[in-house]
Chains A and B, each alone.
Chain A
Amino acid sequence: MANFSGQLINLFAALLLLIAFAMLSQRRVLSLINLFALQGLVLSVSTMIVANSSSQHHLYYSAGLTLILKVIILPWILHRLIRKLNIKWDVETLFNIPTTMLVGIALVVFAFNLAAPISQMAGTITKGTLGIAMASVLLSFLMMITRSKAVPQVIGFLAMENGLFFAATSATYGMPMVVELGIALDVLVGMFILGIFFFQIRETFDSLDLKHMEKLKED
């Protein structure tokens, strides 16, 4: 059982990584949001499997929380936002995608290397996945660097949060519940504030392109 679920989890972890790469190369905002929702779903399912196999019941709550927050609420908010902001079909030009991919792969290798000695210590059945978690965090980071518009950047930020969550489950069977709740609250509030921001930015700059926001610098 443990073996099977371990394989399942590894599968989902691989899926997570794949989605991270997909997000890295995705040009369209709408698809990005969908990918993000998908990532949340994968996360939630894998958490549930972990909860099941390790009989850590509080992980069910986390999985539920993830499902509600990251698969339903946040994508819903994002959808509404892009509809209201009328950027649903926005396409952004990205920095040379093959190069980004190559850098991403290098990052994955780096993260695996970094995580390898630690993974050995983990007592969880998911120990191999810590590297993947770290890789997806770094990939999200990379995504944020390469995005030139506000919404995708925020999605990158949220994806990073996903990676972190996955790290928590894979390395330690999740953080204490009170912390999880706090994190969830922060993410939610953060999303609201970002929503407000999108409107303010659009109102002021008439666009959500970040290139308008490069005035504050040393000259």
Chain B
Amino acid sequence: MTTLFSALPIDIALSVIAYWLLLGLIGLLLQNSRIISQWIFPAGALGALILAVGAVSSLGGAVNTAVLPLGLPDLPFHLRLDSLSAFFLLLLGAAGIGISVYSAGYFRNMEGNTLGLLCFEYHVFLAAMALVFMADDAYLFMVAWETMALSSYFLVTTDHSVPEIRRAGFLYLLVAHVGAIAILMCFGVMQGGHGDYTFAAMRHAHLAPFWASATFLLALFGFGAKAGILPLHIWLPEAHPAAPSPVSALMSGIMLKTAIYGILRVTFDLLGMQLWWWGALALTLGLVTALFGVIFAAVQTDMKRLLAYSSIENIGIILVGIGLAIIFHSFHKDALAALALTATLYHALNHAFMKGLLFLGTGSVLHATGERNLGKLGGLIHRMPKLALLVLVGVLAIAGLPPLNGFVSEWLLLQAFLLSPGLPHPYLNMLIPITAAALALAAALAGYVMVKFYGVIFLGQPREDKPGEQVHDIGIMERIGLTWLALGCILLGVFPVFFILHIDYVTQMLVGQTLGSTAAQTGWMWLTPIQPERASYNPLILFLIIIIGVIFTMQVVKKFYHGRLSRGPAWDCGFPEQTSRMQDTAEGFGQPIRQIFELFFGITREVPSPFDKKPHYHGETRDLLWDWCYVPIARITETLSALIGKLQHGRIHVYLLYSFVTLLALLAFIR
């Protein structure tokens, strides 16, 4: 690739950023919905493609740096493109292509001036994310980070006439801002008092363990707020559904990964040390997050909220991987750390594709039916077969089923767990099997969630008498975008070694070990993280066998079977009044989960009595953390501000008294 471009990869990346900003501006000024959707969004996708190609070419290449004459006087913008950045840029570019192409179709009917603004915010959002990955000093990082938050906030509140959306946007930006301050403080610790905010200086600063731990905790808090780690996840299920679907896809698929990037950057690159308990903390938090996310996803009735909770789950899984990597690295088991890290990064990449795919899928459903409530959908596979097929790929992938991509990363992660024994710490050795079990539980629940998601939306019969006739399948642009992402899911699932070889550059950089060399030792098809005898997985052959098995069976059956087939009504079990309303709703499908994990939810239910004339059922599951964590905080703030408010008493005498007392107190103080 490098021969194709004489420019350095970092220049390519920078020009893509500039190009995106330019596109955004053009869109803002043009305000012509036809041009924007037909030209600018595809042009943005082209930028993403170039970025992805540039990122791939720079993986493992020399570290590029650049300095822009912007920023603070002593701190111009430093940029750096190393393998870690390149990997995440690749993630951004690769998933961005699909989402941008899809957007071209999705937004085509939008009003011109709103679309112009949206186009601007969208491309600024993309550019800011790219800058986050490339920033090499604290200031640029923060600027890019908050620009990202801000642009996505405005994207979330695109439809700001709805009060819930405004509320969601506010909550999102608030949590993001508090997180950003924490990140800022984390950089404040790392700068070491020299006023040198470049990452290069931070790499060389040696912090005492206490301060290093403080840095890590601050980073975990700050980035966790963006990633949606418990208990800072609160904004996520609000903001993601509120945004237009391509934006949800960007936020969930890519933006959450910026937080993962941040944690990795700070922990493995900037801090020169790791303590094992950081890893244990991350592991625990990750597991709790994963379980929480998936359990809540199972009881959702809004399809985008369901996906948002699923994102929380996946972030939890990624965090588990990071935690494991930290633990291994702190005990100098670098090969294992590389394994865990590879799983983490792989899952991050996977999630970008599958969650992007699913969010875009819900976008198309929303577009076609105007309905987000799962309980009112159903049977769309007949009206939107192409969409149904593409979404099925995403569903199978995110449920962690072989031979798709979600399984690969989960497989790697479980392998990392299995190899953990032998750590010089008895408690950790005990902890890790339990966490592995919990992770397995979360992965299995994800299957439940996805069956619910897919089954309720696409299968069965329409639950409400929706005007079904106008529902038509997705357009060409949407189809291209979705196909790209679905293809990504399949390729990532079937050719893992090929991708792991690229991830190796990152693990080499972060922990000094790679997986690919061992992973590929028995040929590029075989994924063998340690030794072939210990564990091996060959998704390609698995994929082929399943296909061959299916075809073979079909052929045999065809050969020996007469092939007569007739259509009839569904069997009514002797109960003639079967209607489509008797299917499980989303709520009904989630009922077992609600029953089993009742402790986790705040459930309010109105159940009709048998004698009700108009029986009405209403159920609501609430996030108890909201009640336990955020409501008290809000109440404390309110109480405090009420107390402080009393100081502003209105009487001038009291004010004079304040001055007087202040003066006297100070005078007494200096005596």
Given known contacts A114-B667, A145-B660, is B653 in contact with A213 (CB within 8 Å)? no
The reply to whether the CB of A113 lies closer than 8 angstroms to some CB of chain B is: yes
Among candidates B648, B653, B667, B671, residue contacting A145 with C-beta atoms closer than 8 Å: B653
Closest residue of chain A to B642 (Cβ to Cβ) is A218
Which of A145, A153, A210, A216 has the largest count of B CB atoms less than 10 A from its CB?
A145
Among candidates A114, A213, A218, residue contacting B645 with C-beta atoms closer than 8 Å: A218
Given known contacts A113-B671, A114-B667, is B656 in contact with A214 (CB within 8 Å)? no
Residues of A175-219 at the interface with B, using a CB-CB cut-off of 8 Å, are: 210, 213-219
Given known contacts A141-B660, A144-B656, A145-B653, is B648 in contact with A217 (CB within 8 Å)? yes
B650 touches A216 (CB 8 A): yes
The reply to whether the CB of A142 lies closer than 8 angstroms to some CB of chain B is: yes
The reply to whether the CB of B605 lies closer than 8 angstroms to some CB of chain A is: no
Residues of A134-149 at the interface with B, using a CB-CB cut-off of 8 Å, are: 138, 141-142, 144-148
B671 touches A141 (CB 8 A): no
The reply to whether the CB of B559 lies closer than 8 angstroms to some CB of chain A is: no
Give the Cβ gap from A216 to chain B, nearest Cβ, in Å. Answer: 6
Closest residue of chain A to B656 (Cβ to Cβ) is A145
Among candidates A113, A142, A147, A148, residue contacting B660 with C-beta atoms closer than 8 Å: A142
Give the number of A-B contacts (CB < 8 Å): 41
C-alpha gap A142/B650 in the complex (Å)? 18
The reply to whether the CB of B616 lies closer than 8 angstroms to some CB of chain A is: no
Chain A positions within 8 Å of B667 at CB level? 110, 114
C-alpha gap A217/B655 in the complex (Å)? 11
Which of A148, A210, A214, A218 has the largest count of B CB atoms less than 10 A from its CB?
A218
Chain B positions within 8 Å of A215 at CB level? 650
Give the Cβ gap from A141 to chain B, nearest Cβ, in Å. Answer: 5
Among candidates A113, A144, A148, A217, residue contacting B650 with C-beta atoms closer than 8 Å: A217
Among candidates B648, B650, B664, residue contacting A110 with C-beta atoms closer than 8 Å: B664
C-alpha gap A92/B118 in the complex (Å)? 66
B652 touches A210 (CB 8 A): yes
C-alpha gap A114/B669 in the complex (Å)? 11
Residues of B615-671 at the interface with A, using a CB-CB cut-off of 8 Å, are: 645-653, 656-657, 659-660, 663-664, 667-668, 671
Give the Cβ gap from A146 to chain B, nearest Cβ, in Å. Answer: 7
A148 touches B645 (CB 8 A): no
B657 touches A145 (CB 8 A): yes
B650 touches A146 (CB 8 A): no
Give the Cβ gap from A96 to chain B, nearest Cβ, in Å. Answer: 14
Among candidates B648, B653, B668, B671, residue contacting A218 with C-beta atoms closer than 8 Å: B648
C-alpha gap A145/B660 in the complex (Å)? 9
Chain A positions within 8 Å of B659 at CB level? 141
C-alpha gap A141/B646 in the complex (Å)? 23
Chain B positions within 8 Å of A147 at CB level? 653
C-alpha gap A172/B647 in the complex (Å)? 39
A217 touches B649 (CB 8 A): yes
Give the Cβ gap from A155 to chain B, nearest Cβ, in Å. Answer: 14
Which of A113, A141, A142, A148 has the largest count of B CB atoms less than 10 A from its CB?
A141
**Chain B interface main SS type:** helix
Chain A positions within 8 Å of B646 at CB level? 218
A141 touches B652 (CB 8 A): no
C-alpha gap A18/B653 in the complex (Å)? 24
C-alpha gap A57/B668 in the complex (Å)? 37
Give the Cβ gap from A22 to chain B, nearest Cβ, in Å. Answer: 20
Give the Cβ gap from A68 to chain B, nearest Cβ, in Å. Answer: 29
Chain A positions within 8 Å of B652 at CB level? 153, 210, 213-214
Give the Cβ gap from B367 to chain A, nearest Cβ, in Å. Answer: 48
Which of B652, B663, B668 has the largest count of A CB atoms less than 10 A from its CB?
B652
C-alpha gap A185/B653 in the complex (Å)? 27
Binary interface encoding of chain B residues 119-147 relative to chain A, with 1 for a CB under 8 A from any of its CBs, else 0: 00000000000000000000000000000
C-alpha gap A146/B648 in the complex (Å)? 18
Given known contacts A145-B656, A145-B660, is B671 in contact with A114 (CB within 8 Å)? yes
C-alpha gap A134/B652 in the complex (Å)? 23
B650 touches A214 (CB 8 A): yes
Give the Cβ gap from B428 to chain A, nearest Cβ, in Å. Answer: 53
Give the Cβ gap from A210 to chain B, nearest Cβ, in Å. Answer: 6
Given known contacts A142-B660, A218-B646, A218-B648, is B671 in contact with A148 (CB within 8 Å)? no
A146 touches B653 (CB 8 A): yes
A141 touches B656 (CB 8 A): yes
C-alpha gap A114/B657 in the complex (Å)? 20
Give the Cβ gap from B280 to chain A, nearest Cβ, in Å. Answer: 46
C-alpha gap A110/B668 in the complex (Å)? 9
Closest residue of chain B to A156 (Cβ to Cβ) is B656
Give the Cβ gap from A63 to chain B, nearest Cβ, in Å. Answer: 29
Binary interface encoding of chain A residues 139-178 relative to chain B, with 1 for a CB under 8 A from any of its CBs, else 0: 0011011111000010000000000000000000000000
Give the Cβ gap from A60 to chain B, nearest Cβ, in Å. Answer: 33
Binary interface encoding of chain A residues 102-132 relative to chain B, with 1 for a CB under 8 A from any of its CBs, else 0: 0000000010011000000000000000000
Closest residue of chain B to A211 (Cβ to Cβ) is B651
C-alpha gap A216/B655 in the complex (Å)? 12
Nearest first, the 10 A-B pairs at minimum CB distance are: A217-B650, A218-B645, A214-B650, A218-B648, A145-B656, A214-B651, A145-B653, A145-B657, A217-B648, A141-B660
22 CB < 8 A contacts A-B: A110-B664, A110-B667, A113-B671, A114-B671, A138-B664, A141-B659, A141-B660, A141-B663, A144-B653, A145-B656, A145-B660, A147-B653, A210-B651, A210-B652, A210-B653, A214-B649, A214-B652, A215-B650, A216-B650, A217-B649, A218-B646, A218-B648
Contact residues of B with A, CB < 8 Å? 645-653, 656-657, 659-660, 663-664, 667-668, 671
With A114-B667, A144-B653, A217-B649 given, name 6 new contacts (CB 8 A).
Answer: A142-B660, A148-B653, A214-B652, A215-B650, A218-B645, A218-B647
